[in-house]
Chain A
């Protein structure tokens, strides 16, 4: 471990590689976390199926890629397929548990997560997959930093998606309806907003965001049916750290998590990467608890 830290100090350029990798995967984390925050804020459902949706999107894109369709189109397809899946899940599962206690909705979405992951396992087996576009890499610093063009492309796509989302939420009628419902569902209904439709739309939108994120993950890193749960937990950590209504916070936290994981993976070894998520979760929760103690509240 100390050797690894030494490398970072002796050859600062490796830091650059880690940071860039971290930002790349972090951009996906941020997107995913935003979707989670959306669903959470609008209908108070903490969607544990988030990771499952991401993996599903990744597999859609990968499978299309195996059949000759360019991943950038595959990404759109993934978003579309997941939109439909999200809608179906909403109608069958989520809608029934909207007015129940929080554990019920958590458990219900956990059930969805399990089903999704297991079905993916049946369809695609438990090998890890990724998409290789065969583009070259940019290298600099004499080969120390290796930046595949496809990863840059993915990052750009992530940024584009984020901007598009932000614009949508701000400018469109539905976006405003969503924000109104998030603030006060009853008032929204009184004002004539069909909250049912808003909930369905929001959940589907989140699924689509996850689908697109999954396609990006397949391009940047790896997908595997059972990685989903760890992604869901990551999304939670980010939203918990940033706070629900805080979009810039979510972005920063997402990117930050990506970077921390890369550093952790480098220093402690790749296999500890998943565990870092939990470490972060505990840290975040501990900080929140400490803050709450000072105000003598409870972390709700």
Chain B
């Protein structure tokens, strides 16, 4: 079992605030890894650093063995490392199908691919994925008119359409109706098992992450606090203190 993302001693500072301090972790290929921690512990900053949203101050980040800490966002995305956003982002004025169709992988896109017409296979794939997330009936609606939860599902489907190797999800269940969360967890599992996508998930909902992840890292105050299986984390006194102390 190899590590597909290796974060090695990464530090990131904003102004005077140390958001991430010497964080090291590994995301196993094919597995589901969780990232938890109280608010302000630096989870999203770490995500942003990995996907190239901003440069890091120290350390190294490797994806599939290659150093990516100096690459830009589109490059990293084309390598197969994708993320979803905490504030769901979709293309509001385009309908769902269009959102899906523009989310095809651009890895090998040459100059003339810019003018490609979308094939029947791609349309079928888009429809299947929309069906997978339960948005098939809504596929011709404008994305901007979907409800918040539906947009989150669309963003998830778009990510799957991009055929990523690794999908980093930033709080995928935030703001979702509790009755729908089980369905989402199920879909995440299926994405991992059926499509073989490695998942790296930030979550606040303990029930979700304990059910989802095989290995969990816990951050607090910008540093790595603990790591282990869900059971180990659940019983780790330091983690409990960090969360209780944060309230």
Is B72 at the interface (CB under 8 A from chain A)?
A: yes
Asked if B34 is an interface residue, CB under 8 A from chain A, the answer is no
In the bound complex, how far is the Cα of B57 from the Cα of A294, in angstroms?
Answer: 12
Which listed residue (B54, B72, B73) contacts A295, Cβ 8 A?
B54
Check if A296 is an interface residue, CB within 8 A of chain B: yes
Interface string of B15-58 (1 = CB under 8 A from A): 00000000000000000000000000000000000001111000
- The A-contacting residues of B in range 81-133, CB under 8 angstroms, are none
**A50, B72: Cα distance in complex, Å:** 38
By a CB distance below 8 angstroms, the chain A residues around B55 are 294-296
Q: How many A-B residue pairs have CB under 8 A?
A: 10
Chain B residues with CB below 8 A from A296, complex form: 52-55, 72-73
Nearest CB of A to B40, in Å: 21
Could you tell me the distance in whole angstroms from the C-beta of A291 to the nearest C-beta in chain B?
13
Residues in B whose Cβ lies below 8 Å from that of A297: 54
CA of A294 to CA of B54, assembled, Å: 9
User: A294's closest neighbor in chain B, by CB?
Assistant: B55
Give the complex CA separation of A295 and B13 in angstroms.
12
B54 to chain A: closest residue by CB: A296
In the complex, chain A residues whose CB is within 8 Å of the CB of B73: 296
Q: What are the interface flags for B49-76 relative to A under an 8 Å C-beta threshold, 1 for contact and 0 otherwise?
A: 0001111000000000000000011000
Q: Name which residue of chain B comes closest to A297, CB basis.
A: B54
**Cα separation A126 to B74 with both chains bound (whole Å):** 51
Binary contact readout A276-300 vs B (1 if CB under 8 angstroms, 0 otherwise):
0000000000000000001111000
Instruction: Please name the residue on chain A nearest to B14 by beta carbon.
Output: A295
Q: Bound complex: CA of A295 vs CA of B54, how far in Å? A: 6
What A residues does B52 contact at CB under 8 A? 296
A294 to chain B, nearest CB (A): 8
A297–B55 Cα gap in the complex (Å)?
Answer: 10
Residue among A294, A295, A296 facing the most chain B CB atoms (10 A cut-off): A296
A65–B52 alpha-carbon span in the complex (Å): 61
- Min CB distance B14 to A, Å, is 10
When chains A and B are docked, how far (Å) is the Cα of A219 from the Cα of B103?
60
C-beta contact mask, A62-91 vs B, less than 8 Å → 1, else 0? Answer: 000000000000000000000000000000
The minimal Cβ–Cβ distance linking A176 to chain B, given in whole angstroms, is 27
Q: How far is the CA of A222 from the CA of B53 in the complex (A)?
A: 49
Cα A295 to Cα B56 in complex, Å, equals 10
Nearest A residue to B73, CB-CB: A296
Q: Which residues of A from 249 to 300 have beta carbons under 8 Å from B?
A: 294-297
Q: How far is the CA of A247 from the CA of B61 in the complex (A)?
A: 41
Residue-wise, chain A 95-119 has the 8 Å CB interface mask toward B (1 for contact) of 0000000000000000000000000
Distance in Å: Cβ of B89 to nearest Cβ of chain A: 15
What CA separation (Å) do A295 and B12 show in the bound complex?
Answer: 12
User: Considering the chains assembled together, what is the distance between the CA atoms of A294 and B70 in angstroms?
Assistant: 11
Residues of A within 8 A of B54 (CB): 295-297
| Per-residue interface assignment for chain A, residues 120 to 159, with 1 indicating a CB less than 8 Å from any chain B CB and 0 otherwise | 0000000000000000000000000000000000000000
Give chain A residues whose Cβ lies under 8 Å from the Cβ of B72.
Answer: 296
Q: Distance in Å from the Cβ of A297 to the closest Cβ of chain B?
A: 8
B residues engaging A (CB < 8 A)?
Answer: 52-55, 72-73
- Beyond A294-B55, A295-B55, A296-B53, 7 extra complex contacts between A and B, CB < 8 Å: A295-B54, A296-B52, A296-B54, A296-B55, A296-B72, A296-B73, A297-B54
The list of the 6 closest CB pairs from A to B, nearest first, reads A296-B54, A296-B55, A296-B53, A295-B54, A296-B72, A296-B52
Q: List 10 A-B contacts (CB under 8 A).
A: A294-B55, A295-B54, A295-B55, A296-B52, A296-B53, A296-B54, A296-B55, A296-B72, A296-B73, A297-B54
